[in-house]
Structure 1
Amino acid sequence: MIPEAVAQFFGANQELLWLTTLVLDLTGTLILYRLFGKVGLQVAIAAAIILANLQGPKLTEIFGFETTIGVIFYSGIFLATDILSENYGRAEANKAVRMGFVVSLIVLTMLSLSMLYTPTDRQFSIDVHNAFDTILNFAPRFILGSLFAYLVSQSFDVWAFHKIKEYTGEKWLWLRNNLSTMCSQILDTAVFSLVVWWGVVDLLTALKLGAVKFCFKMVIAMIDTTFVYWARSLFRRNLVPQAAPI
């Protein structure tokens, strides 16, 4: 799907790949918002949490630190919930968080049911079956832990965002965007590390993975601040549909 030359370039430049993936993920969320309004953001959250959970078990090394791929795709969730909080209020943001949680449970259930079907004796069919089996054998603990951490932290994020807004009013969007994310992701990282990595890796490794994951999320939060301002500008200039086009 990706041209060989591009694959080789990014294979040798993992940090640039991380930054490119992050920008594309945030841009995709903003495009969905521009085209479909708040419905687009709800879709972005559901897509991001599914991608984050399926890719989460994969570990890679960025800037010399070992981290999960899922933390990259998680960036769209930060952006979408903050845009919903800023432009539509706490109720809409919380509804989107719950929607993402339910969609992820449905996807996990249907994928698990699909594994009960016996593959044919064609090699590609067996390979695909085994690939999904590998993911899903690890995924229940990872996904359920991730979903629990997601539900707790994102609900807190929405609450914190609006609590800060009570004091700042319409000013200092960057402050409530970053501060609410920072606090919620401390909670997310703690819950996730406790549920997912407990008993899988030693305590020191779990702490290192959690600390690196948190640092990457903070970098992502700072980068997505620009996108939050763009989204508010689109909303104030009435460039966002109030309902999804049919």
Structure 2
Amino acid sequence: MIHNIIKDKPTRLFIFLGGFFIANAIIAEIIGVKIFSLEETFGFTKASFTLLGESGLSYDLTVGVLPWPIVFIMTDIINEYYGVRGVRFLSVLTAVLIAFAFVVFYFSIHTSATGWWRESQTAKGVPDMQAAYTQILGQGMNIIFASLTAFLVGQLTDAIIFKKIKQITGEKNIWMRATISTLFSQLVDTVVVSYIYLYFSLGFSFPKVTAIALVGYTYKFTVAILCTPIIYLIHGFIERYLGHKQAAEMKNAAMKMQITS
């Protein structure tokens, strides 16, 4: 039976896309604890501007934004061939796996570290490996809850908008449904995670949270536009892999699938 499953092209494609989708989402969550300067990374002078009365703003972003565009690209591709149900299934599974990963991190952090390991990297500027390990993997429950909530809401928003646009435009204008759905879902994701974590958990002022969210979204907006050609590249590869007949059948079935089913 496993041979039949592996030999089936649509199944193999779903496993590949789903695996890439899940891996990038988990990676983004784990590495997201680091904040980097976008300007300085590219060798530019750090920006400092005012927005909504909040001064000193710059493009200080979580490193998690780097692999996140791949997740939204995978969302649109999966939606194209497997429908909203396919996206929803993978989104829920991914959220469960991310939660599971952080449960494992929690218990691993609270194991008793040996003395020699704690001091093993002192010469490299890390005097306490246990403290470093805890800081990197022990992200607060508030940010995890905010991130998972934003992820699920954003993914469902992306899938629904993508399908609605395709119902209007048909097979034409892949760029339109892919880009617009991503822009809306990125906005939802940014707003949800920012207000849950920064406003409700950390007590930042409403103008400050809004300003930070807008700065982050401008980066995501730009990346979403730049990633549009990648959609066409992946779409072309899948069409050749499946064959135009099977690809068309899958896309038609995905369109007929009810969002609530």
TM-score range, shorter chain: 0.7 to 0.9
1:78 Cα shift?
Answer: 0.7
Contact 2:24 2:70 in 1 (8 A): yes
Measure, in 1, the Cα distance between the counterparts of 2:187 and 2:60: 18
- Indicate which of 115, 118, 124 corresponds to 2:120: 124
Tell me the equivalent position of 1:109. Answer: 103
1:39 Cα shift?
Answer: 1.2
Q: Secondary structure at the match of 1:67?
A: strand
Q: Deviations over 1:165-203 (max 9, x none)?
A: 100110011011111111112211111111111253632
Gaps of 5+ in 2: 1-11, 40-46, 48-58, 122-126, 247-261
Tell me the equivalent position of 1:42. Answer: 18
Contact 1:42 1:100 in 2 (8 A): no
Contact 2:194 2:213 in 1 (8 A): yes
Tell me the equivalent position of 1:8. Answer: none
Query: Which structure exhibits the higher relative contact order, with contacts defined as CA atoms closer than 8 Å and separated by 6 or more residues?
Result: 1
Q: Secondary structure at the match of 2:241?
A: coil
Measure, in 1, the Cα distance between the counterparts of 2:225 and 2:65: 14
Q: Deviations over 1:137-180 (max 9, x none)?
A: 43322122101100011111111100111001100110111111
1:239 Cα shift?
Answer: 5.9
Tell me the equivalent position of 1:200. Answer: 202
Identical positions, percent: 28
1:136 Cα shift?
Answer: 4.2
Q: Does 1:170 align with 2:168?
A: no
Q: Deviations over 1:97-136 (max 9, x none)?
A: 1121111011011111111210000113884422221134
Which 4+ runs in 1 deviate beyond 6 A?
none
* Residues matched between the structures, number: 207
Measure, in 2, the Cα distance between the counterparts of 1:138 and 1:104: 12
Q: Does 1:66 align with 2:60?
A: yes
1:85 Cα shift?
Answer: 0.9
1:58 Cα shift?
Answer: 1.9
Tell me the equivalent position of 2:241. Answer: 238
1:48 Cα shift?
Answer: 1.7
Q: Secondary structure at the match of 1:177?
A: helix
Measure, in 2, the Cα distance between the counterparts of 1:220 and 1:38: 25
Give the number of the structure whose alpha-carbon radius of gyration is greater.
2
Q: Does 1:191 align with 2:192?
A: yes
- Indicate which of 90, 94, 98 corresponds to 1:96: 90
Q: Deviations over 1:192-243 (max 9, x none)?
A: 1111112536324422321122111112211221111111111211269x9x
Amino acid of the structure 1 residue aligned with 2:204? D
Q: Secondary structure at the match of 1:39?
A: helix
- Indicate which of 64, 80, 86 corresponds to 1:86: 80
Q: 1:38 to 1:128 in 2, by over 3 A?
A: farther
Measure, in 1, the Cα distance between the counterparts of 2:226 and 2:130: 38
Amino acid of the structure 2 residue aligned with 1:163? K
CA RMSD of aligned residues (A): 2.3
**TM-score, normalising length from structure 1?**
0.77
Measure, in 1, the Cα distance between the counterparts of 2:184 and 2:31: 24
Tell me the equivalent position of 1:158. Answer: 159
Q: Secondary structure at the match of 1:124?
A: coil
Farther-moved stretch of structure 1 (113-122 vs 85-94): 85-94
